[in-house]
Amino acid sequence: MMVRIHFLSLVFMSCAALPVFGQSGRSLDLTIDGVGLSIGDSKELTGVRLNFRDRELRRVTGINATIWFPHENARGVVTGLALGLPGGGGRQISGIGLGALGISAEESIKGLMLAGLGFGAGENFTGIGVAGLGAGAGRDVAGLMFAGLGAGSGRDFKGIGLAGLGAGAGRNVTGLFIGGLGVGAGQDVTGVMIGGLGAGAGRNVTGILIGGMVAGAGGDMTGISIGGLAVGAGGTLSGVHIAGLAVGAPTIKGLIISGLAAGGQNVTGAVFAFAYMKIEEDGTFRGVSIAAYNRIQGEQHGITIGILNYARHLDGLQIGLLNYAGNKRGMKWMPVFNYHRD
């Protein structure tokens, strides 16, 4: 009898230690010292928390499962598993996020995110994210981001970004960026960018730039660039640059291959253009150029090979059907070849 009494006393004391309702009266909490199971909009918990839509949440360490995205100005910090059926989120998420529709965080996301439609962070994303439609961060991204339509960051992107349509960053991209239609960065790119139609950067590119139609940089391009139609830079092209129709930049250093035309102000290297190579007025060409028509309106230091070769100032060799050297005293026009040294 005494054993039964002691046993019942222990059961009674244990039940008394389990708060039935949370402090806000909005949840059913089966917890001991904040650890256990909570059903409803509880504020803090270590364990498993189930709720329709978060408003009062401050912290969950464990599992937070919700039916819908949190209310505006959400303040909840989830460490562990954020489960959205169909959507969920919080102020910050660290760990794993799973959403049939999506996962969102007003500030940062760190960890692994899988969403049927999309996921996003108001500030930074660090980790691996996969979304059926879109994925992004208002500030920086560091890690891997894959989306069926679009992926991007408001500021810097470091890592790998892959999107069915487009991928972009408001500032810099460091790593690998691939977009079914287009990829771009508002400032600099260091790494590899591939776009089904176009790839470009507002400032400088160092690495590999490939666009199904166009590849370009507003500043300098150093490395390899390939464009189905055109490749260009607002500053200097350095390296190997290939385009189906045209390649151009104020300054070019390296190897240029173009299906139609190529040119710039100052070009150093080798140029292969099917139809036309042009050096702007008062510009300089140093190297070898092979094109049907080589038109150098400045100085030529090297060799040009074509049907028609024209140079206002020749310091080298022209080989072609007809050749013109404007700085020669006599025999400015010559068939087959023309040669002059300063």
Q: How does pLDDT run across 238-266, given as a tens digit for each residue?
A: 999 999 999 999 999 999 999 999 999 99
State the pTM of this model. 0.85
Read off the tokens for 170. Answer: 């408001």
Dump pLDDT digits (tens) for 198-235.
Answer: 999 999 999 999 999 999 999 999 999 999 999 999 99
Q: Is 196 left (phi over 0), alpha (psi -120 to 50) or beta?
A: alpha
| pLDDT confidence band for 14 (50 / 70 / 90) | very low
Which of 159, 107, 84 is CA-nearest to residue 129? Answer: 159
Which of 38, 37, 42, 36 is CA-nearest to residue 54? Answer: 42
Cis peptide before 250 (omega within 30 of 0): no
For residues 126 and 142, the answer to whether their CB atoms sit within 8 Å is yes
Domain ranges of the chain: 24-107, 260-342
Checking if the pLDDT of 16 tops 60, the result is: no
For residues 107 and 91, the answer to whether their CB atoms sit within 8 Å is yes
Distant-in-sequence, close-in-space partners of 13: CB < 8 Å, separation ≥ 6: none
For residues 271 and 256, the answer to whether their CB atoms sit within 8 Å is yes
Checking if the pLDDT of 18 tops 80, the result is: no
Checking if the pLDDT of 5 tops 70, the result is: no
Read off the tokens for 3. Answer: 């054993």
Amino acid at 114: L
Q: For residue 5, what is the enclosing H or E element? A: helix 2-16
| pLDDT confidence band for 25 (50 / 70 / 90) | low
**Rounded to whole angstroms, how far apart are CA atoms 190 and 50?**
44
